[in-house]
Structure 1
Amino acid sequence: MSEQIDVTHELAKLQQRVEHLEKRVEKTESKESPLRSLWEAIRSILIGLLIVGPVAAIILGVLAALAEK
């Protein structure tokens, strides 16, 4: 019987932690402004260009060199 009480007590603690985390997530989401979302989008595009751009240039350069042969 005490094991059931311990399990119930642990489940109650876990529920409190989950509720606390849900509140923190809601608070964080409410802080996010449209300007922040725009900045995240711009940053993502710039990172993509810095990574994809040079890789595409290398691939096109190799293909052009192979086409000349």
Structure 2
Amino acid sequence: MEDADLNALTAKIDQLIRLVAQLRADNLQLRSSERQWREERVRLLEQNELARHTVESMISRLKALEQDS
């Protein structure tokens, strides 16, 4: 193999190594972002459930007050 071919192959291998490193970093960042939005989703679902129970409780109290009137 000629030096020019070897140098071109070495350059391509180096480029692929850099690309793999960048893809790994991107993948880690995406996984971290996914974990954060999943945690946020769970928190929001819990808040929604709490709000639903609060509203249901208020409705029940209002109905009870209405019946007492």
TM-score band (shorter)? 0.3 to 0.5
| TM superposition score normalised by structure 2 | 0.48
Larger radius of gyration: 2
Query: Structure 1-normalised TM-score?
Result: 0.48
